């Protein structure tokens, strides 16, 4: 019997790529999409590619959708849905900042809690969280997103130790910059509110997103984490980002105000 994997945020990006690859490998995939048009599009695309997967509406902020998801019996939760909102910490509206935590932290945690309880009762299971390189280093002008991923790191670290005695595995994947469109729209997001008030610091300097990597590398790494008998606790890609993270974490000890 193939393993059953629930993927949140499966309509685009890493979630979609992982859903496709796991389905092709014979996994039972349940692909969660935020809105109904995404459900329709994903079902048709999978059918055209000859893939069998269950596609469901799963807006992680919607209590009804979460309850429907938590009624499922799964082996692996890929906690992947997330949003990015940019802007200087002193300028970003609190409603925007809170929205990032509602999706990336609180809603994800509610799903993880619910499935973890079921996994503890069964004596096994795996929860894979999409964290980020931004959860491990400083990210000026993207502090809200980075803060949410630092929170994810803290949650996962605790859950890993708390659930290990019960046979439930908690691991993270930490992508750097990949060409999924996520970073592009995330950087653009602050333009929605920047002009609506008086600002005391400068707008995010123009950054060319011309050094993003092929997402196929990250998708493959995530698939291997889900499929592995004993995956590493943390998977950072690309390799250059992993070295950057280690170097910056060392430098923090000598950083000055």
Residues carrying an active site annotation: 145
Residues of 68-90 as b/e, b for ≥16 C-beta within 10 angstroms? ebbeeebbbbbbbbbbbbbbbee
Burial 115-126, CB ≥16 within 10 A → b, else e: bbebbbeeeebb
Q: Taking each helix axis from N to C terminus, what angle separates 108-122 and 63-70, rounded to the nearest 10 degrees?
A: 20
SS3 at position 66 = helix
With left for phi above 0 and alpha for psi between -120 and 50, is residue 188 left, alpha or beta? alpha
Neighbours of 194 (CB within 10 A): 16
Residues 6+ apart with CB under 8 A from 61: 102, 103, 107
- Helices (H) then strands (E): counts for the chain: 9, 7
DSSP summary character for residue 231: -
Task: Copy the structure tokens of residue 194.
Answer: 């920047």
The tokens for 209 are 């997103």
Q: Encoding tokens for residue 233?
A: 């606790």
Pairing of strands 168-175, 125-130: parallel
């Amino acid at each position: 019997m193939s393993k059953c994997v629930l993927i949140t945020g499966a309509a685009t990006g890493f979630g979609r790529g992982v859903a496709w690859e796991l389905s092709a490998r014979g996994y039972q995939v349940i692909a969660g999409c935020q809105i109904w048009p995404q459900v329709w599009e994903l079902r048709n695309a999978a059918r055209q590619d000859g893939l069998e997967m269950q596609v469901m509406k799963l807006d992680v902020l919607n209590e009804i959708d979460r309850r429907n998801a938590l009624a499922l019996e799964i082996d692996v939760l890929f906690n992947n849905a997330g949003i990015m909102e940019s802007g200087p910490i002193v300028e970003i509206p609190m409603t925007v900042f809170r929205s990032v935590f509602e999706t990336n932290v609180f809603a994800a945690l509610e799903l993880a809690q619910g499935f973890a309880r079921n996994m503890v009762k069964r004596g096994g299971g795996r929860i894979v969280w999409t964290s980020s390189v931004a959860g491990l280093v400083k990210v000026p002008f993207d502090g809200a997103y980075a803060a949410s991923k630092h929170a994810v790191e803290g949650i996962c670290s605790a859950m890993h130790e708390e659930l290990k005695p019960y046979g439930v595995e908690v691991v993270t994947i930490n992508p750097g910059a990949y060409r999924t469109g996520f970073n592009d729209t995330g950087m653009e997001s602050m333009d929605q509110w920047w002009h609506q008030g008086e600002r005391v610091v400068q707008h995010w300097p123009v950054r060319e997103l011309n050094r993003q990597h092929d997402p196929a590398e990250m998708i493959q790494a995530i698939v291997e984490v889900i499929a592995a008998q004993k995956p590493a606790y943390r998977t950072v890609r690309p390799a250059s980002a992993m070295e950057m993270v280690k170097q910056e974490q060392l430098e923090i000890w000598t950083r000055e105000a």
